Amino acid sequence: MVGPPPLQGLNVLEFAGLAPGPFAGLLLADAGANVLRIDRHTSNAQAVPTADLLTRRKSSIAVNLKSQSGIDVIKELVKSADIIIDPFRPGVLENLGIGPEVLRAINPRLIYGRMTGFRRDGRYASMAGHDINYLAVSGVLSRLGRSGDKPHPPTNILGDFAGGGATLFQGILLAIIAREKTGEGQIVEANMVDGANYLATFTRQSLKIPIGHHPRGENLLDGGCPFYDTYETKDGKYMAVGALEPQFYAALLQGLGLGNQDWENRRLDRESWPEMRRTFETIFKSKTRSVWEGIFDGTDACCTPILEYSELEMDVSREGDQRPAVTLRGTPCLAVGEKGVNPTVHGQGPGVPGNGYVGQLLSPGQGGENALRNWFGWTKGKDFDIKNGGIVLKPKSKL
């Protein structure tokens, strides 16, 4: 018998944004929190979904933050909220009169999470930027890419999501723990420069020791080493090799048909690496990926297929079923896939459409009336109305 998800009962107000802020909200929602997205109001008859796909289990209300009536709605909601997610540049919500000092005065238990790209107190604080810029000024981007090639960003996983949204989520959880001791909320500030840089602690410190002191792309773990690299197969697919330890390297050589040819003694001889790489490339290209899988599956050669999401989506036996990031045996998070066989592994509850592969768009106002009723006991017509696409409180409402 499992208990409810760990964050059940917590109310989160997420101001609409893209990537890191919504991802922090998604992590909270998957852990059981109630997440209400605050969208910009629209006077259109039909609300248009935003580009945000990270909407799992969230609801939305549209609020005109440029009007006093809209600000009043936020201040009223904050009375029953546990967490705020502010994804804007420094000063945006403060200029609207709903910065952390104002809202925390209304609700001292409020945890006010703020997400920026650059440091709030740094030289780039007032500048626009994206993931690539945050990685660039952090130093992390200088270490990403092949030898002799320009620095290359790994899409926006490292800055937006790992260094940004996931780091803000971590900070919010720490603030929740602290609140249990003090009874007070606090301001939680995360930025993608510091978040990405913290994740790169080992890489940065490795610059001072032999494992990582060579130029970009010429080290043990960044593509410089032939037994920690990727190789194309006969059918145009790829295998990943990570045979770092001697015993794993020996198993790799056996699978490649290179045993007892003195390659074992040249494992760490960097002068031999170019020849070793060429040899590996030729051998891997001689067979299809499926053949190599048959050779290496079940061995300690640290040689695995590079699977594409299109394959994983169609074949869950390849570990393609999407699950929560961590497993809590007693209070599992909510399911990511549509069906969870074992709640302590796959997450509990009915899950959501798309199995974690298809994001669901959320229109401004979608599900908002139910959320307001369930969270705060508000009903349309009695406690609030919708005017010009945005929610406004009823003048005589006793809330």
Question: Which residues are marked as active site?
Answer: 160
- HSE of 195 in the Cβ direction (CA atoms, 13 Å)? 28
Length of the chain: 399
Provide the 8-state DSSP code for 6.
Answer: T
Neighbours of 187 (CB within 10 A): 17
The angle subtended at Cα 48 by Cα 361 and Cα 381, nearest 5°, is 100
> Going by C-beta distance under 8 Å and a sequence separation of 6 or more, which residues neighbour residue 303?
239, 240, 241, 242, 243, 252, 255, 292, 296
Give, for 385, the enclosing helix (H) or strand (E): strand 384-387
Q: At what angle do helices 131-138 and 192-199 cross, to 10 degrees?
A: 60
Q: How many CB atoms lie within 10 A of CB 310?
A: 10
Say if CB 141 and CB 122 are below 8 A apart.
no
Helices 167-182 and 192-199: crossing angle, nearest 10°? 100
Q: What are the distances in angstroms from CA 262 to CA 36, 187, 267, 276, 283?
A: 63, 60, 9, 11, 17
Residue 231 token pair: 């190789």
Using left for φ > 0, alpha for ψ between -120 and 50, and beta otherwise, residue 302 falls in: left
